[in-house]
Structure 1
Amino acid sequence: MLKLSALKTSALAAAVLMSSAAYAEETVVWWDFLGGGDGVRMKQMISDFNAAHEGEIKIDATTLEWGVPFYTKVQTAVPVGEAPDIMTYHASRIPLAVDQNLLSEITADDWSKMDLAKSDYAPSTWDAVTIDGKQYAVPLDTHPIVLYYNKDLLKQAGRLNDDGTPMGMDSREGFTETLQALKDSGSVKFPLGSVTADGNFMFRTIYSLMGQQDGELMTDGEFLVGDNGQKLQNALSVLAEWTNEGLQSTYTDYPATVALFTSGEAAMMINGVWEVPTMTDLHKDGKLFEWGAVELPVIFDHPSTYADSHAFAIPAGDMSAEKRDAVLEVMSWISKNSLFWATAGHIPAYGPVTESAEYKAMEPNATYSPLTQNMIFDPKSTLAGIAGPIFDVMSTYFVPTLNGEMDPAEAVEEIKVELNDL
């Protein structure tokens, strides 16, 4: 009888433990690289998620240093089983991550569980996280570059349309005319502020202008084949011409570019959508002029804008079914509640959010969000992506070329040789 009693007690204890396990809160370990306003907003979204899933799922989040340090840590953590359960990732870095076996495929069953589908995303955004027909991340946003502009200065120069947008956005001649009118007005130091001291940043503008010519940086594993070198030269020549004519800022780093625009010394600025909160907050506090942001001007044949995407990825490795379901819920919930993420200036990747009435009431976001139909991402290469070798090589030649110290044709030849040597 004692043995039977002991067995019953043991069985009861086991049942209690199994019941507790079934209803235990699942902790999802999270790594991101989001600083500044992005970090503030994501921390709020994580807090909101945890509140909505109290007792079920809890995100345990850590923010790491952006760029090479983040990706190096991922590369060393995954093989030894010390990776998180979920992490932010740039779409441009996915080809290298897949080549290094760092990511888990997001399967058709995963997409079904998340209630997300290919049709919810812009084609270029979906393709950016796809390698050999398989998806390796869930896009959260796209963050392209845009043209910021000072409505007051454009109006003074007679280059503001009735709808409050800049004139001359549909051609090289028209946009140069707008720049010249601003210079002739004598009211600005530079008509256009650009980050001309940082070739890594200027890659975004130059690649956009190549895209406007249907140019390709990489074709079948080779760089700048055929007339693509000429298309790169065309892009560099336009920007160098603006600098030489005093229409664009020279040797300007990122903070100085923002300062030129916000102080009114530059009437326009090419920068990422992530600076929208800066402008919004300054204007709200009465410290900024009337401003707007639009898609880049069409300098060549058609609209095209460089973009990257913040996405969610699952590291490769073993994971229980319960843990994976929790991770999928995290990615699904944040995607579907990404309207708040749009206040950082980013364009939510999940289509139903950008199609909502709430998003369409957000300005200037709603004005520039149609550019998602014209986006181009980095070439799919293990050498591409944020802080990748392609950026580094091209940056070396972009800075002197854009600042009038190197001939565009010479720069292209040097770039072609170094890229193909990679």
Structure 2
Amino acid sequence: MDGHLDRRRFLQGTAALALGLGVGASACGPQGAAEGTPLKFWNLFTGGDGARMMELVTAFQQARPEVSLQATTLSWGTPYYTKLAMAAAGGRSPDVAVLHLSRLAGYAPAGLLDPYDPALLAEFGLTASAFPAAAWQRAQHQGLVYALPLDTHPLVLFYNTEICGKAGLLGPDGRLLPLRGEAALLDAFRRAKQAGAQQGVVMAVSADINPWRLFWTLYRQQGGELFDPAATRLVLDEAKALRALKFLRAITVESGVARGDLNNNAAVAMFGSGQAGFFWNGEWEMPTFVEQNTPFDVIPFPAIYDTAGVHGDAHALVLPHRADRDPARTRAAVDFVRFLLQHSLTWAKGGHIPAYRPVATSPEYAQLGPASRYAAAADSLELDPPCWFGGAASELQNRAGAVFSQVCAGGLTPEAAIPEFTSAMRTLLATPRPQL
């Protein structure tokens, strides 16, 4: 680095840290690549997702031997986003990176991403008609496309086919009978427990981000908004929020069908070992149950209220800001993105719904079994509100989760949770947006 740090670069670094870590945190990010080095790709995938992504990277290297590509995996969440923001703030970022689409509102307006060239997207066939409408809309900022969704990954409802069969919850085709409304869902959970399950349903509701995801699903199904369109003012509908929280409390505290103190690992283990009739979580857990030979199937999360909206997100491919962006390297980067999208059937085997419509509507995807049975959820995806402090592993999710987890554990009533939640949201709204 230079021997001095001017004011602009200092402010860029400070803002990037706020976007990566949240209010008041700090860290150090890596330097990007200079011209002439391999095309650099950053991602945050480990486990099965990591293996599938490396399979795609290897396939690209074999198909494009003339392109030198270096893939780097960084830790999911705060560490990843801090390093990506710092690299982009300095203009020395990787050529391509993965970004949760819910994070775009914090990155594109701050100048941390470069937009895709519309002519290049059209040439490569990467236009609006190739993606789900909701995801495509969130991929834009000021009329320009800043992200290309690789997938959508919503919350879904897993069910143990053996337990639900004993409980009389399956139809002649062996699939779960339709569920609609609070009473029907609670009744299904009770019947699963009466059929021998230790828990009617398991959910990750300890102090993490999942309670926010569950709340947002139920709140958005009622049409509730959290902020005004500019994300400058809280517009919480307290009646709808209270209804959602009361239902979560009914499941985890009052009905006896679920525990309100499980973390994600415990919930996954209980369902995978046949101790629960249902499991409410993200579709990304599906490979675990396949590997364990758990007797299960999966459906989109039911419409409990007015719509079938469900919390979810999308892994998207972005062009982090580079001060020395070269047209030839950018073209190679977009070609790599197109390759990932065209071959995203491999990615879908991990449970994620392909965002690229030619794959999502293909016969091959339809034959993936459980992985294709909740594809309709892509059209009902409810991402976090588009604010700079929202999205995956964000301050919004963490602060909301800290409040709502207490409701699920029985330590806080839904009525008492509303003012705590609104106070946390107003604090975030009052925090100045980082300026570059």
TM-score, normalization: structure 2? 0.86
> What is the CA-CA distance between 1:107 and the residue it aligns to?
2.6
The Cα offsets for residues 259-310 of structure 1, whole Å up to 9 and x where unpaired, read as: 1101111111011111111112222xxxx2x210111122111211111110
Equivalent in the alignment of 2:26? none
Q: How does 1:29-68 map to 2 (within 5 A)?
A: 29-54=40-65, 56-68=66-78
Match of 2:376 among 370, 376, 392: 370
Match of 1:329 among 335, 345, 362: 335
Secondary structure of the 1:146 match is: strand
Task: Give yes or no for contact 1:168–1:177 (8 Å, CA) kept in 2.
Answer: no
Q: How does 1:392-411 map to 2 (within 5 A)?
A: 392-411=398-417
Specify the structure having the higher radius of gyration (Cα).
1
Aligned length in residues? 391
The answer to whether the aligner puts 1:72 opposite 2:65 as a matched pair is: no
Equivalent in the alignment of 2:25? none
Counterparts of 1:309 and 1:152, CA distance in 2:
32
Equivalent in the alignment of 1:237? 246
> What is the CA-CA distance between 1:57 and the residue it aligns to?
1.3
The worse-fitting range, judged by mean Cα deviation, of 214-223 and 397-406 is 214-223
Equivalent in the alignment of 1:254? 264
> What is the CA-CA distance between 1:168 and the residue it aligns to?
4.8
Secondary structure of the 2:406 match is: helix
Counterparts of 1:237 and 1:74, CA distance in 2:
39
Task: Give yes or no for contact 1:143–1:307 (8 Å, CA) kept in 2.
Answer: yes
Equivalent in the alignment of 1:13? none
Equivalent in the alignment of 1:3? none
> What is the CA-CA distance between 1:347 and the residue it aligns to?
0.4
> What is the CA-CA distance between 1:113 and the residue it aligns to?
3.0
The answer to whether the aligner puts 1:200 opposite 2:206 as a matched pair is: no
> What is the CA-CA distance between 1:223 and the residue it aligns to?
5.5
Percent identical: 29
Q: How does 1:186-197 map to 2 (within 5 A)?
A: 187-197=196-206
What's the C-alpha RMSD, in Å, of the aligned pairs?
Answer: 1.7
Counterparts of 2:302 and 2:202, CA distance in 1:
14
The answer to whether the aligner puts 1:215 opposite 2:224 as a matched pair is: yes
Equivalent in the alignment of 2:306? 301
Amino acid at match of 1:370: A
> What is the CA-CA distance between 1:222 and the residue it aligns to?
4.7
> What is the CA-CA distance between 1:132 and the residue it aligns to?
2.3
4+ aligned runs moved over 6 Å, structure 1: none
Equivalent in the alignment of 1:171? 181
Equivalent in the alignment of 2:321? 316
Task: Give yes or no for contact 1:149–1:293 (8 Å, CA) kept in 2.
Answer: yes
Counterparts of 1:366 and 1:392, CA distance in 2:
30
Secondary structure of the 2:180 match is: coil
Counterparts of 1:162 and 1:171, CA distance in 2:
22
Equivalent in the alignment of 2:364? 358
Task: Give yes or no for contact 1:113–1:328 (8 Å, CA) kept in 2.
Answer: no
Counterparts of 2:283 and 2:233, CA distance in 1:
29
Match of 1:338 among 323, 344, 350: 344
> What is the CA-CA distance between 1:229 and the residue it aligns to?
2.2
> What is the CA-CA distance between 1:362 and the residue it aligns to?
0.9
